[in-house]
Every structure is written in C-alpha cells, then in structure tokens.
Amino acid sequence: MTNTALILAAGSGSRAGSALAKQYQLIAGKPLLRHTLEAFCRHPKVDAVRVVIAAGDEARFKAVASDLDTTPVIGGATRQESGRLGLESLAGTPPRHVLIHDAARPFVSASLIDKVLAGLERHQGAIPAMPVTETLKRAPAGLIAGTVDREGLWSAQTPQGFRYGSICEAHSRAAAAGLAHFTDDAAVAEWAGIAVAVVEGEPANVKVTTSDDLRAAEQRLTRDRLQHCPDIRVGQGYDVHAYEPGDRVVLCGIAIPHHARLAGHSDADAPMHALTDALLGSIGESDIGTHFPPSEMQWKNAASAIFLRHAAGLIEKRGGFIANTDITIICEAPRIAPHIPTMRANLSEILKLSPDRVGIKATTNEALGFIGRGEGLAAFATATVRLP
C-alpha cells in the first residue's frame, strides 16, 4: 500500500445537537460519512480506506459502507485517541503514507488530496490550511484582553498527510507520555519534532460542526447534485397479484395480517414490484421479470427488496439518483393507511431517500371489478430519476 486514507468517524457530534451523530445524518440523500468515503474511494491515488468508528456504531457503519472494501476499527474518547487506534490498526500492512481526515469534512476535493500527496513527496508531513483573514482577539471573560497578530497564522484542515511510520510512532509516544490534549495530528507531529509543511487549503473544505453547518451542507450537496444531473427521467410501473389462502400480505416490505396472502413466485409484494419496474423503466432497462426470471428457483419466496435495491443500484452506477417515488395501492382489504408510515420508512431506507420523497397512497376500487370482489390487489408506481 502506498497511500491509505484514515477517516475519523468515532465522535458523538455533540455540538450538532441531535441524537444520531452527524456523520450518519442524511445529507442530500446519503449519510455525511458516505460523501466523505466516496471522495477518497474514487481518488486514483488512494489505495485503501480505513474508518475509525465509535463502539456500538458497527451496524450503522455497515449500512453506510456495505459495498466498500473496508473493515472499520473502534476509536476512543478523543479525536487524538481515535487517530492513534486507527494508525495502530494499520500496523500489519503499513502504508507508505497515511492521510488522516475528519469524517465531518465531506467537501474534500480530489485536487486538495493531490496537493497534500504532492507535499508529502518533499516533507515528512503536509497539511492543508487557510491563512487567517480576520483580526483575532483574546477575550477570556468576554472582555478583550489583547489583539493577536494574525501574521503567519493558519487555520488547519484535513486531510493531514504523514509518512506512516513517523506519525504512528509520534502518536504512540504521545499516549505513553500521558499527553491527551492534541486536537489534530499535525500537533502530535509537531510535538514529536516531525517537520510538517502547509499546503493551501480550500475554503469549501469546511468541517460540519453545528446543525446550521448540516443544513448548509445539505443545500450545497443538493445543488451540486442537481447541476451534475440535468437529465430528468420519469418511469412508471404496474403490478397485480391474486389473493390465495394465507394469513398476511407483504406490501413495501411490511407484513400486514390478513385472511389471505398474495400469490406469486417471490413474496408477491406488488407495490415494490411496480416501483422496481418504474425505476428500471426510467433508465430504459427491461422489466423486473427479465432481470429476475420467475423460472429461476433462487427468486422463489425472495424478499422483493432485493429487486428494488438492484434497480436503484443500476441508477447509481450510471451516476444518477432518484428524486422521488410515488405508489398507489388499490385493494378493498386489508386497510393500508395504518401501515403507511412504516412502509415509507422501509422504502426510504432501501432507496436512501428522505421520507418526504417517498409517496405511498392507498385506495379501494369502490367494489368494482376483480379488485372490488377481493380477488386481488394492484399497485401503480412512478419514479423521477436524474442522470448526468
């Protein structure tokens, strides 16, 4: 390994003030941490990514990064400790360089990573930083006690790059000396006598810290994504399944007790099948039956979430995203309304969409036709999809 990115994501995000730590909050449809991970995973010079997470966040992390080839390690009580534990976890396959980065900085650009790597060719360490432009005051009790000369002052960003061996040793020695006050890795390096160069940071490479920062990040990533994906598509789908003797129906992945079940090869989840077809249709793909032939035994009793994930994955592979989905379920019974919130939550999790982008409605067929006679259930779906 030449360059490994070490992403620190073990903080609790207390200043952002929500129960779910900021790195797992959805921003423009994806967890914050996912945006950060993708920036490093898609960089051609980054060979591996190691993420430091908090104990207890294993399942949450898995949901964020299941498709990425990376095993997390558990961090500590401070950023410094999380950094050290992450570095030590790489000792088995030590990289030449390590780029230590805050998960809370999702706007890191490829060119900034390049600049830090270029700095590392000439120095033991290199960090991006911004020259301080404001006048600085020291005001310990709210009253100004002095003005600090800003000449030569920089405000540090990440990724901070180091020769792996030297920063790992510096962290171990600092911990052994009982020092626990370092707020970034360059400070640990400085203490250990490692020369660290400053490369020019980017104003956009902010650290998401408060709930206002989260909102600003959402706005910015949404705008970037809309600009990047101007090609608007609409797909539609329809599915119907007949009732047969049974005790439950599965709709949008949720089992609802009923005196019948839907007949079908898979779990016969008609709304989810209709939605899968709408997504496939939006990108000109053939329908669900072609992708998952009913003649193949492996799809017998299959959970339809597999089909839906597959369709969403095809859109993602093309660099696009789903803007919204909408479903109408038509049946006389069971009553669907009480289950709609759970169904929406399930679809929004599968599609990584905020719940306000997932519509589900139900209606009866006014006792008319096969649906009116209770012989089956039908579902329509539409999806808006945007492609580059």
Question: Would you say 105 and 206 are in contact if contact means Cβ atoms under 8 Å apart?
Answer: yes
User: Which one of 12-20, 214-222, 343-351, 362-370 is the stretch in contact with ligand CTP (CB under 6 A)?
Assistant: 12-20
* CB-based burial, 104-133: b 16+ in 10 Å, e otherwise: bbbbbeeebbebbbebbeebbbbbbbbeee
Which residue from 89, 166, 172, 209 is in contact with ligand CTP, where contact means CB under 6 A?
A: 209
Nearer to Mg ion, 39 or 103 (CB): 103
User: Which one of 5-13, 66-74, 192-200, 217-225 is the stretch in contact with ligand CTP (CB under 6 A)?
Assistant: 5-13
- Report the sign of the C-alpha dihedral through residues 202, 51, 184, 140, in that order: positive
Nearer to ligand CTP, 15 or 96 (CB): 15
Residue nearest to Mg ion (CB): 11
Nearer to ligand CTP, 85 or 358 (CB): 85
User: Which one of 9-17, 98-106, 120-128, 303-311 is the stretch in contact with Mg ion (CB under 5 A)?
Assistant: 9-17
Q: Compute the least distance from the CB of residue 171 to Mg ion, in Å.
A: 17
- Report the sign of the C-alpha dihedral through residues 32, 34, 38, 40, in that order: positive
Nearer to ligand CTP, 3 or 23 (CB): 23
- Residue 374, classed as helix, strand or coil, is coil
User: Strands 136-138 and 196-200: what pairing?
Assistant: unpaired
Query: Residue 95 and residue 89: Cα distance in Å, rounded?
Result: 11
Query: Residue 363 and residue 372: Cα distance in Å, rounded?
Result: 11
Nearer to ligand CTP, 170 or 229 (CB): 170
Nearer to ligand CTP, 187 or 288 (CB): 187
Binders in 21-80 for ligand CTP, by CB under 6 A:
23, 52, 75-79
**Interface with ligand CTP includes 207 (CB under 6 A)?**
yes
* CB-based burial, 206-218: b 16+ in 10 Å, e otherwise: bebeeeebbeebb
The secondary structure of 161-229 as a DSSP string is EEEHHHHHHHHHHHHHTT----SSHHHHHHHTT--EEEEE--TT-----SHHHHHHHHHHHHHHHHHH-
Which residue from 5, 10, 85, 330 is in contact with ligand CTP, where contact means CB under 6 A?
A: 10
Nearer to Mg ion, 11 or 29 (CB): 11
Q: Compute the least distance from the CB of residue 46 to ligand CTP, in Å.
A: 17
User: Which one of 11-19, 139-147, 279-287, 344-352 is the stretch in contact with ligand CTP (CB under 6 A)?
Assistant: 11-19
User: Which one of 101-109, 240-248, 256-264, 289-297 is the stretch in contact with ligand CTP (CB under 6 A)?
Assistant: 101-109
**Interface with ligand CTP includes 13 (CB under 6 A)?**
yes
| Token pair listed for 350 | 């599968």
**Interface with ligand CTP includes 104 (CB under 6 A)?**
yes
Give me the residue label for tokens 């709304």. 271
Q: CA dist 167 to 100, 133, 190, Å?
A: 10, 30, 10
Q: Compute the least distance from the CB of residue 102 to Mg ion, in Å.
A: 9
Nearer to ligand CTP, 6 or 371 (CB): 6
Q: Compute the least distance from the CB of residue 102 to ligand CTP, in Å.
A: 4
Query: Residue 170 and residue 256: Cα distance in Å, rounded?
Result: 58
Q: CA dist 335 to 70, 306, 361, Å?
A: 44, 26, 11
**Eight-class DSSP state of 125:** E
- Report the sign of the C-alpha dihedral through residues 247, 249, 255, 258, in that order: negative
Task: Examine residue 355 and say whether the peptide bond preceding it is cis (omega within 30 degrees of 0).
Answer: no
Which residue from 27, 103, 117, 221 is in contact with ligand CTP, where contact means CB under 6 A?
A: 103
Which residue from 4, 11, 107, 119 is in contact with ligand CTP, where contact means CB under 6 A?
A: 11
- In the complex, the residues that contact ligand CTP under the rule CB under 6 A are 8-15, 23, 52, 75-79, 82, 102-104, 207, 209
The residues binding Mg ion (CB under 5 A) are: 11
